[in-house]
Structure 1
């Protein structure tokens, strides 16, 4: 009996000893593996500005070394100094340069060619443990500040039309583009929609409530969860779903809708407009309850039609800006105006300035933290395709002649709808090449390259 007990104890001890020896081997292997890691990585070169400041991330799990923030377009990294630190068990460091096809026992001093990925292989003292890393330097393959334009689609709709306006609309399930069109003068308006993720397949919706003609589609404005539009006769219509419209009763005679002002700490939300009174045109604001307040008289050179408008929130205040257009006496303008209360407006630029020629039907959007102004039709009736930018909210405008210019295949136009989508593309829908001509039946899109960059 004693011998059996002795054998049992001895067997258990042997099992425990074996288990402990096994754990020890595993720990030793893990320690060797860990101490074969590359722990620090950097590059430098007297001829490559800023290279020494580039931060590289070492992915120990997948054996990847890279810079998450790409270097500027055109950076040359063919011969640069590489500095690495690695674990204490490394006795051999082998390098394979894809650009040259060379495999060398690297001395951690010779320069390397990183124009293509470089493979680093670390080996332990006994040669049994190795770690493989692939290092690459990410360099932008396009000029970050350039814009690539392309004609996204031709023949948006199967029918021709003489007027159009595109708005963004979310029905609670998806983001859509809604396109209002008038097929011909004095004919009923039609409405089509397409998902913003598509913008190629358009379906017709049953538009109701709008008069048969005279609607100023270009002035459709969203405000306080409703959409508003005005007619040439001064009637105001509203809609909650952008499909079914109704006349707004008890309003003054509205000449123009200029935009909207969102509510902020020091501002109530209002719809900005120009209304007709006995003594002339005045600025006006409609609050959320539908009550109207009038302000200053409209200056003689303020645009009342054919202008471009943008409502934005900047520097803790909401404001509306309009540019270009035609004044009440029929004169084209080239100034920009802004307001923060809809009742009084300030001229941002000199009306006699020469930032851009006098024109109507310009397209304007707030994009890349500045205003972009594109095209329009000038005093001679000639369509334009030039681009101007303003970084000071319309006070000054700079002509853009490089990087973001429209291609030669783009047909100059005015009166197009221009929107910015969620992927930072500027979308240009239709437009006219002549004042009274049919609208162009196409969509163009462009994006500044860096606005599409993603972190790896």
Structure 2
């Protein structure tokens, strides 16, 4: 007789027991476990009831209903201050948002009795911790939240639903009466050694260095500046040692420690088409990266710049932008993350995708922006604000015909998604389509100021200066301030 091993028999018995247990007819609802670790609210989230669909009769086809989906309000995540006993949503609701109820989810011990009192209507809702979300009366956006636990003091929080009282996407752009000192074909504004400079090149390839005084729009020229011919100011990057690097129109590499005197670097047969900048890899090593190719070759690669020249680091992905791309760089857990937006391929056609590296020297294609190209081919002014992950892009060349645009777009997630800002107010003139402008963004949120300098307008370099700011008169509705 064949003997079965003990673990085979044991497994069979366990599976049989589970099968009979699952088939019991008296299996009733399980008791919700009691979570006692959250005597304070650990997290509070909310969502708004989904809008109903509007049904309209199609005038041409009366037998068919036409449904239009109404866009809902975004979900909310709340800050909780257990000292001041205040709760408020991290990101205010959009301007002119309307609501009267929301679905609240609170992480708190199920031993607690939680009540939400609407300060406007005085309606009281008892929160049921065994439900996924509790519908509450949110009229007015000012609420009280109480947490009662036996033998413990009652906790009372002021809960506010913040809403923009102004349009955070609507800037007022004022054309300054002053003008730029020269009509630059390529330029860059950069903060360097606690000062703001404007480096600008003329059509003949010569460049000038100015200090930029934002408060009065003055540009005193820096004496003694000897900038190499054909240098591209827009390519300038700064490394961790406060040394600046740039390339020239003929793809040579230069560096400077004061923006006034520059040193050429011999890279042999390597031509540099795109500055990337400094990148710290996962092993803690710092590398100065450029994109380039050997003279006479169309094989572009990433190169690291060393004291002895340029070392290749591998072939680039197909469709990679080898010039005129915007380099978005930030530190993440001690390593450098870099994403490239816009730019031109080796065949001078626009790159339709974006590429990134993080912790290594190898590039990969980002998993987003797969659909219609939303960013300019080249020539857009990309600006980082004082708010983490926020980017703007102004103007640039779009479409197959490379048409200049006056469009302004914003990203709040490091360039993953972009929204157009169509409702801009201008004072002193029209904000005309342009490309290759320079500028700077200072501050964030209500204190955000954007300075837009020059650019190519109607085929010629402009000397215009524009200042963009938000009209924040309406403030934040329901703010504690």
SS class of match (2:395): strand
Q: 1:255 aligns with which of 272, 279, 302?
A: 272
Determine if contact 2:329/2:339 at 8 Å carries over to the other structure. yes
Equivalent in the alignment of 2:394: 374
Residues 439, 307 of structure 1: alpha-carbon distance in 2 compared, 3 angstrom cutoff: farther
Residues 455, 414 of structure 1: alpha-carbon distance in 2 compared, 3 angstrom cutoff: farther
Q: 1:161 aligns with which of 184, 209, 214?
A: 184
Higher helix residue share:
1
Pairwise CA distance, 1:376? 0.7
Q: How does 1:141-180 map to 2 (within 5 A)?
A: 142-143=165-166, 145-151=168-174, 153-170=176-193, 175-180=194-199
| Cα distance in 2 between the residues matched to 1:372 and 1:216 | 22
Pairwise CA distance, 1:215? 1.6
Pairwise CA distance, 1:250? 4.8
Residues 297, 410 of structure 1: alpha-carbon distance in 2 compared, 3 angstrom cutoff: same
Structure 1 residue 409 and structure 2 residue 414: aligned?
no
Equivalent in the alignment of 1:127: none
| Cα distance in 1 between the residues matched to 2:409 and 2:357 | 21
Determine if contact 2:183/2:454 at 8 Å carries over to the other structure. no
Q: 1:383 aligns with which of 377, 401, 404?
A: 404
Equivalent in the alignment of 1:188: 206
Determine if contact 2:253/2:264 at 8 Å carries over to the other structure. yes
Structure 1 residue 239 and structure 2 residue 256: aligned?
yes
Equivalent in the alignment of 1:114: none
Pairwise CA distance, 1:389? 4.0
Pairwise CA distance, 1:54? 13
Residues 455, 226 of structure 1: alpha-carbon distance in 2 compared, 3 angstrom cutoff: farther
Equivalent in the alignment of 2:239: 223
Deviations 1:15-56 (A, max 9, x none): xxxxxxxxxxxxxxxxxxxxxxxxxxxxxxxxxxxxxx999x
Deviations 1:128-157 (A, max 9, x none): xxxxxxxxx9x9894263342322524432
Equivalent in the alignment of 2:340: 322
Equivalent in the alignment of 2:27: none
Moved more, 380-389 or 259-268: 259-268
Equivalent in the alignment of 2:448: 424
Residues 209, 297 of structure 1: alpha-carbon distance in 2 compared, 3 angstrom cutoff: farther
Determine if contact 2:187/2:233 at 8 Å carries over to the other structure. yes
| Cα distance in 1 between the residues matched to 2:228 and 2:80 | 62
Deviations 1:81-140 (A, max 9, x none): 99xxxxxxxxxxxxxxxxxxxxxxxxxxxxxxxxxxxxxxxxxxxxxxxxxxxxxx9x98
Determine if contact 1:323/1:334 at 8 Å carries over to the other structure. no
Q: How does 1:92-107 map to 2 (within 5 A)?
A: none
Structure 1 residue 338 and structure 2 residue 359: aligned?
no
| Cα distance in 1 between the residues matched to 2:245 and 2:238 | 6
Pairwise CA distance, 1:169? 1.7
Equivalent in the alignment of 1:23: none
Determine if contact 1:260/1:320 at 8 Å carries over to the other structure. no
Pairwise CA distance, 1:437? 2.3
Residues 149, 181 of structure 1: alpha-carbon distance in 2 compared, 3 angstrom cutoff: same
* Structure 2: runs of 5+ lacking an equivalent: 1-78, 99-118, 123-159
Determine if contact 1:359/1:376 at 8 Å carries over to the other structure. yes
Equivalent in the alignment of 2:325: 307
| Cα distance in 2 between the residues matched to 1:448 and 1:341 | 41
Pairwise CA distance, 1:393? 3.9
* Structure 1: runs of 5+ lacking an equivalent: 1-52, 59-66, 83-136
SS class of match (2:302): strand
Q: What's the TM-score, normalizing by structure 2?
A: 0.57
Pairwise CA distance, 1:262? 4.8
Q: CA RMSD in A?
A: 4.2
Q: What's the TM-score, normalizing by structure 1?
A: 0.60
Residues 150, 432 of structure 1: alpha-carbon distance in 2 compared, 3 angstrom cutoff: same
Pairwise CA distance, 1:315? 5.5
How many residues were matched structurally? 328
Equivalent in the alignment of 2:285: 268
Greater RCO, CA 8 A, separation 6+: 2
Deviations 1:284-303 (A, max 9, x none): 1236x676432222345222
Determine if contact 1:215/1:232 at 8 Å carries over to the other structure. yes
Q: How does 1:27-38 map to 2 (within 5 A)?
A: none
Residues 364, 357 of structure 1: alpha-carbon distance in 2 compared, 3 angstrom cutoff: closer
Residues 180, 208 of structure 1: alpha-carbon distance in 2 compared, 3 angstrom cutoff: same
Determine if contact 1:160/1:441 at 8 Å carries over to the other structure. no
Determine if contact 1:255/1:304 at 8 Å carries over to the other structure. no
Determine if contact 1:167/1:177 at 8 Å carries over to the other structure. yes
Structure 1 residue 444 and structure 2 residue 444: aligned?
no
Residues 437, 304 of structure 1: alpha-carbon distance in 2 compared, 3 angstrom cutoff: farther
